[in-house]
Every structure is written in C-alpha cells, then in structure tokens.
Structure 1
C-alpha cells in the first residue's frame, strides 16, 4: 500500500461514526478495568499488526487478565484471557446497540464482568443516548475500516520516529477513543494549575506543560483528515511563528491555536513522511521556544541520549 493512501472523510463518514462509538464502548471497559495512570495513559488503545488493542487489563478488579482487540483484517472483535481462552464476533452488520450487547455477553462468557459507569458516548453529539439504544449508527464498510487501520499504522511509525528525538517525559504513541485521534505528547516538566471550574478529565490530561502532536480523521470542526499540534498552556504570539511546509496553518479552535497540516497536502509532497516530520518539528520548535523550554537539553538526536555512543550500524 502506498504511504498515506486516499482517505476522504466524505467517503467513509458513516463507517467512521459507527466505529468511533464501537471504540468508545471498548474504551470505557478499558477505563473501568485498568489501573489509573498519569494523564489517563491507561485508557488509550495501542496499535497491533491487525488492528488496535486495549492491552492486558483486569486482575486488580477481580477479573481474569484479559484483552479486547479490534481485528481490522478479519473484521472481528476478539476477547482473550490470559489462560488461553478467547471468543470473538463479527464487526459487520452491527449497530452500536448490538455491538454493546455482544461485547458484554462475550466478556461474561469468559468470566469477565465490568461495570461501565456511564454507558453513553463521551464528547459526541449523541452523548445523552445510551449505547444500548443506538440503532442509528450501524454502518461498517470493511474496506474503509481496513484503510483507516493501515493509515494509523503508517502515521504511528512517523510519530514513533519523531518521539525518538526527545529525551524528556513523553507519552506513548496511542489512540484516544474519545476523539479517535492518534497522539504523542512531550512534557517540559513544569506543573500547570488549571482553574477550579475545569472538569476532572481535562485537569488530569493537562496538569503539566506540554506540546502534543497527532493525527485525526476529521470531524465537524475540520471535515478532512489532518496532522496537528498544540501547546498547553499556549504562550503569547505562538500563531505568529511560521510552520513547515508552507501549506500548514495555525487554526483558531476553542480560544487557542492548533497547528494543522492537511492529510491531502502532505500526500501531495514529494516525500510525505519527511514533510510530516518537518511539520511536527516546526510546531514543536515554535511552542518550545515561546514557552521557554530548554530545547538543546531535551534533544535526543537519532534516539540516543549518550553523546559518546555512536549510531547503531544499519
């Protein structure tokens, strides 16, 4: 498959909206059955060779150790326990309601019982509708589901390469199910005191100074896939700094600025991978310089922190 194949949101919006809610169902199970980590790092999915996974969870809540995987090759949801048992069901021909029911039934058949505290979507237009009552979202096109996973894998490797350049505290490259975006975040080490009115999810997510980088498939605010970056807290005059390539732009969103490189603009470049890396680097340099980070001290050329260690032979 070509690097960054076509992925027009208009062509697979219905599948994306259904899959997004499937992911939220499983994501809320992960939230209930995993040990809490800083910045909610226990919650996101990670990429696999066939789709995305929750990683092992359970045990602390009395359940057996288990995983839930989306297989975008055979298009099944797969639940497996550490003792070797597994069960699965097809992702095709499912509404959110039937997917929710079958997921819980499959877990119960394997001796796993998880209580989802709020069994409704998070941050979506139908956030007041229980999963069990959503018969509207029921589109799953296998070709587009496979395509989105292929793109996530390609972008994930670019983000891993970019992550290697930084020696400070960083997040994994992981997929957040609430917004369905693949992200990687760098931290300065400085604490950030959020105002008292800020909700608990945001307070924990942004309790430290950070610059985040990622990719998402598009939404109501930006109706096409794009690479992005933002700095929190946003330093003054950030949006005055240039971005690379010239097609990248600062976009105002929720009273702050988001660096955006459209997916199709990156695809049109002679070297899309190098273009995305340059975009992330330009956004990082802008945010870090304006926020007063020690860029030189935090650098990690070639993924190596020891200045006397030669690069490994290829």
Structure 2
C-alpha cells in the first residue's frame, strides 16, 4: 500500500478522524500526553468511545467495514454514509445536524491540526475522496499496529499509553512513560508542551508520506536523543536509525517472514537502547513475570 497511490483518500480519512477527535478535545477529561484525545481502534474502525454532554452519553465512530460514520446514544443509532464525492464540508454539516437532533450541541474547533491543509471543516470542499477497498486495507493496518504494540507493551509493569489513533498525525501509537517531570523547552508550542513533559518512549506506526513510500513502524524517545544508534543484530533486518527524525525505523516492506514477531523484536531492541540512553533507573521490576496462568496469547 504505497502512500502515493492513495494520498487523496488518506487525506479525506485523516480529516474525518480529526473531526471525531475534536469532540474528544471538547468533552474528554484531560490527561497527560494528550491521552484523552486518542481514538480507539475497534474491530471495524475507530471510535471516540463514550463521551458525555449535559447528561447525554454518546459515541462517534468511523466504520471502515460498512463505510459509514456512526452516532450512538443510549437509545438511538444514526449513520452517515461514506461515499466518494462527498466533501468534508458535507460530512461536518451532517454530523452536526444529526448530533443536534439527538440532543448533543457541542462547539468544536474546526480547523485541522498538524496537517498541510488548514481549511475549516465547514469550508472544505476540496477533500472528497473515498474508497471502500482502501478503507478495508487501512483497517487491517490499524489492527496490525494495535496487535503488535499491545503484544509488546502488555507484560511490562509500568505506566503506559495503550495503542490508539493519534488523529493529529494519523498514526497508531503507544508509549512507556517514566515517572519524572521533563518540561518541553518551548512553552509556546501548544501541542508539544503537553505531549512532551515527561520522559517517554513511543512506539508507533504510520502510513508513510513523501519521504517514506509505505507503512512504517517507528520508535522515538523524549528527551530527544542527541546521538545516533547502530541497528546490528539482534535488531531485525531492515531496522535503522534515521538521523533526521532521530527515530528508530522499520519499513514494513523490508520485513520478511513473521511480521508480528519481527516488529515486536524491533520494539524490544529499540526500547532497551533508548531506556539505557535515557538512564532510566529502577526499571528492574518492569520485566518480572506476571503470576497468571497462560492463555491463548502465550
């Protein structure tokens, strides 16, 4: 799935996820690292999970199997069809109209964030590309990223941000967070000052861009490294450290064999390198076995 082959569909999907995410910004209780605004990866797409407004509970989802936006309240279920040719402006108007009819009247900031386009949703007639085939592929990648990140993170005994869609950058990411305060050096940057204020190691997946041709896994650290790293074995073949991004990189097209096992191995090796570089102390208990009987994932 090369980025250039579905760039227009990607932008439309990205904007739709931003639309949902804005409701989480408006209504979810704030958490460190913007954890409260992450969209859940579901069996059929992405979801806000349960939100509350003036006593009304509701959720918003993008269903990539049935090609629709879903609005769910305690008593009602409404859908908006996703179709090629329908603009972001039209989706936004339909979403707002249906929410108001269901008793939810929430003002959101409608200008996209962390994207090249800054046209507010209510004015955007340029993005209107949708493909059911592409959406099904996107969902499979979402599930792959969720699966491997969950497999790596689950047994670790430490504070973690579980996998979900960061809709600002359209990546499925998770993180381990160290128990210390490390303020971002530039307090004028609204997103970064909240995202990066504790030492952390982030594990993520994104679909590529003009610099990366296709789906790619990455690992980054905060504070950001000031040195480079080698990726010799036991890193899986294809792993490297990008000196521009200052991140460990594994492009999915370079992975042979058991993809899940190779990506988990990539996460493990990157984690150990960065944990040691950041000089995290008191981490020995992170890896103590869980005293539970094996299940089907073992």
The worse-fitting range, judged by mean Cα deviation, of 105-114 and 187-196 is: 187-196
**What is the alpha-carbon distance in structure 1 between the residues aligned to residue 150 and residue 111 of structure 2?**
32
The residue number in structure 1 matching 2:165 is 175
**What is the alpha-carbon distance in structure 2 between the residues aligned to residue 240 and residue 79 of structure 1?**
48
**Structure 2 gap ranges (5+):** none
Displacement of 1:196: 4.1
Q: How many residues align?
A: 294
- Name which of 61, 64, 82 aligns with 1:91: 82
Give the structure-2-normalised TM-score.
0.93
**What is the alpha-carbon distance in structure 1 between the residues aligned to residue 55 and residue 77 of structure 2?**
15
Give the structure-1-normalised TM-score.
0.88
**What is the alpha-carbon distance in structure 1 between the residues aligned to residue 285 and residue 94 of structure 2?**
47
- Name which of 16, 40, 44 aligns with 1:46: 40
Mapped contact 1:238–1:287 kept (Cα < 8 A): no
The residue number in structure 2 matching 1:257 is 246
Q: 1:104 to 1:63 in 2, by over 3 A?
A: farther
1:164 paired to 2:154: yes
Q: 1:298 to 1:230 in 2, by over 3 A?
A: farther
**What is the alpha-carbon distance in structure 2 between the residues aligned to residue 41 and residue 313 of structure 1?**
29
Q: Deviations over 1:189-234 (max 9, x none)?
A: 1210222444122111111000000100112342321000001113
SS of the aligned residue for 2:6 comes to: helix
Q: Deviations over 1:277-311 (max 9, x none)?
A: 11111110110011112475143356x2xxxx364
The residue number in structure 1 matching 2:115 is 124
Cα RMSD after superposing both structures: 1.8
Displacement of 1:240: 4.2
**What is the alpha-carbon distance in structure 2 between the residues aligned to residue 187 and residue 138 of structure 1?**
38
Trace 1:48-87 onto structure 2 (pairs within 5 A): 48-59=42-53, 62=54, 64-82=56-74, 84-87=75-78
**Structure 1 gap ranges (5+):** 1-6
Q: 1:144 to 1:205 in 2, by over 3 A?
A: same
**What is the alpha-carbon distance in structure 2 between the residues aligned to residue 232 and residue 210 of structure 1?**
5
**What is the alpha-carbon distance in structure 2 between the residues aligned to residue 260 and residue 21 of structure 1?**
26
